[in-house]
Structure 1
Amino acid sequence: MVDDEANIVAALRRLLRRDGYTLLSAGSGEEGLALLATQAVDVILSDQRMPGMSGVEFLRQAKILRPDTVRLVLSGYTELQSITNAINEGAIFKFLTKPWDDEQLRANIAEAFSFKRLADENRRLSTQLREANAQLERMLADKQGQIVRERRTMGVLHELLQVLPWPLLGVDEAGMVVAANAQLENLLGSAAALLGGDSDAVLPAALARFAAGGGDDETVLALCGADYRVLRRQLGERSGAAGKLLILLPEGKCDG
């Protein structure tokens, strides 16, 4: 509360103390600014016509010093233009007149505190939203980096599969062919025809049945006129992969 008349400040104290506020007072705009420099407040109620600094000018400076405060003018003098300008600038929340009605003044002060709580909550939520967005951006950047690394790794693994001397076959847990190297293509046909196909439909029957089995195992199968020792390895023990890898080790030359 800022007013150069001590009796006004005393009357305001008597009226507002019943509402449980912590009340601070100053006798001039300069004293009010000095108080605000060291004390955070929620609502400012200032007289308009005071010696030296007017209430409007005090509230303009108070807005700069404490932008989150809710600022009201209480005055018996209606300097309409200066008060209108201050309201348009956001320096003043409301203009109240003297003499005041006690209950109406209390209601206006309560409304100012409600406005302050709402503004504080909006700022809190905005801060949380900015922090959440920043965290999401970091997570997306990390995920994008992980995707790039995984693509490079998959590229290396794909090249490795192609240069290995044995036919290799990857089947997912649903029985779809998801990997086939050049050696397998030479043995069974085009990899393009194999990839994405159901193992029962695109693989020789004996190889499809063995691929459908569970766990690590091996067998000997006759494929393309030659015998192959087929190793089946269950994936997922050391990674999130699900499916099986089959390695075909020729035990004799394939005639095609």
Structure 2
Amino acid sequence: MVDDEENVLSAMRRVLRREGYRILSAGSGGEGLAALRSTPVDVIVSDQLMPDMSGVEFLRQAKENWPETVRIVLSGYTELQSITQAINEGAIYKFLTKPWDDDLIRANIAEAFRYKALADDHRRLTRELATANRELQGLLAEKQHRLELDEASLEIAREVLYCLPLPLIGIDPDQQVVFANTAASTLLADGLPLCGEYAAECLPGEWLVLLRDDPPDYLVWQAGDGARRVLHRTLGEPSRPRGRLLVVMPAEADEAMRPKRGQG
């Protein structure tokens, strides 16, 4: 509370003595600013007419330096113009007239503390939301970076598979070709793309045994330029197969390169 008349400060303390507030008092705007610098304050009640600075000017400075305080001015009706301007600027939360009604003073100060609590909650929630948003943006940026790395790795892997000299054919559970490298397209389709074709339409008929539910590990295929070994491997988990991979190798390839029965 700020007022240059000690009897007014004493009267206000009597009105509020049972409300449980910790009350600081100052006899001028300068003293009030000094008290605010040293002690956190929630609600400020100031008289308007004081010798060193008006209550409106004091509360403007309080707003500038301690914007989270709730500011109330006490005055007569003669200063309404300056007070109304300060209210419109946001420097003053409420204007109360002198002489005051005790019950009205208590009710308005209690309301000011409730307003302060709500404003504090709003600021806290806003800070928490901003922090959560920053964390979310960080997670999204990290996720995007990982996706870009995965996409780059996948593209490199596809390029490597396309460049391998061994024909590779990937077939999905619907027996549609979803991958065929250059060597496979050259061997089976004179360089034309195989992706999108069904296995029964583009693979040699004897290869189709490898697409059965219980296929052999490999078969020997008699191609026009000699015998070749076609290896088979099931992709994915046994309970959730994701397709088949066929690898065509020279018939004289190392026996150790063939998967053992039960591994694919």
Q: For residues 60 and 208 of structure 1, do their structure 2 counterparts lie closer, same or farther at Cα, with a shift above 3 Å needed?
A: farther
- Relative distance call for 1:173 and 1:120 in structure 2 (3 A) is farther
* Aligned-residue CA RMSD (Å): 3.1
Q: Deviations over 1:66-104 (max 9, x none)?
A: 011110101235312211111111100110011211222
Report the Cα offset of residue 205 of structure 1: 6.7
**Cα distance per residue 1:189-227 (max 9 Å; x no partner):** 3775424x666776567656645659x982215486754
Name the SS for the 2:74 alignment partner.
strand
TM-score by length of 2: 0.79
Tell me if the contact between 1:235 and 1:245 (Cα under 8 Å) persists in the aligned partners. Answer: no
Instruction: State whether residues 170 and 246 of structure 2, in contact with CA within 8 Å, keep that contact through their aligned partners in structure 1.
Output: yes
Q: 1:14 to 1:221 in 2, by over 3 A?
A: farther
8 Å Cα contact 2:44/2:70 also seen in 1: yes
Answer yes or no: is the 8 Å Cα contact 1:231–1:246 preserved in 2.
yes
Q: Deviations over 1:112-167 (max 9, x none)?
A: 11221221122122212222222222222222222222222122111111111112
Matched, 1:94 2:94: yes
Report the equivalent of 1:229: 230
Q: Does structure 1 retain, via aligned residues, the 8 Å contact 2:185–2:194? A: no
In structure 2, the partner of 1:74 is 74
1:218 aligns with 2:217: yes
Q: Is the 8 A contact 2:162 2:183 kept in 1?
A: yes
CA contact (8 A) 2:177 2:194 kept: no
Shift of 1:25: 1.4
- Paired with 1:37 and 1:114, the residues of 2 have a C-alpha distance of 23
The structure with more radius of gyration: 2
Matches within 5 A, 1:168-179: 168-171=168-171, 177-179=177-179
SS of 1:79's equivalent? Answer: helix
- The separation in 2 between residues aligned to 1:223 and 1:123, in whole angstroms, is 78
- Would the aligned equivalents of 1:194 and 1:202 in 2 still touch at CA under 8 Å? no
Change (3 A) 1:160 1:78: same
Q: Residue 27 of structure 2 aligns with which residue?
A: 27
User: Could you tell me whether the CA contact under 8 Å between 1:36 and 1:65 is conserved in 2?
Assistant: no
Indicate the residue corresponding to 1:118 in structure 2.
118
Secondary structure (helix, strand or coil) at the match of 1:229 reads strand
Q: 1:46 offset after TM fit, Å? A: 0.6
SS in 1 for 2:160: helix
Identity within the alignment, %:
50
Q: Which amino acid in the other structure matches residue 143 of structure 1? A: K
CA distance in 1, matches of 2:136, 2:222: 52
> What TM-score comes out, normalization by structure 1 length?
0.81
How many residues align? The count is: 247
Q: Which runs of 5+ in 1 are unaligned?
A: none
CA separation of 1:185 and 1:34: change in aligned 2, threshold 3 A: same
Q: Residue 170 of structure 1 contacts residue 179 of structure 1 at CA under 8 Å; is this kept in 2?
A: yes
Q: Which amino acid aligns with 2:2?
A: V
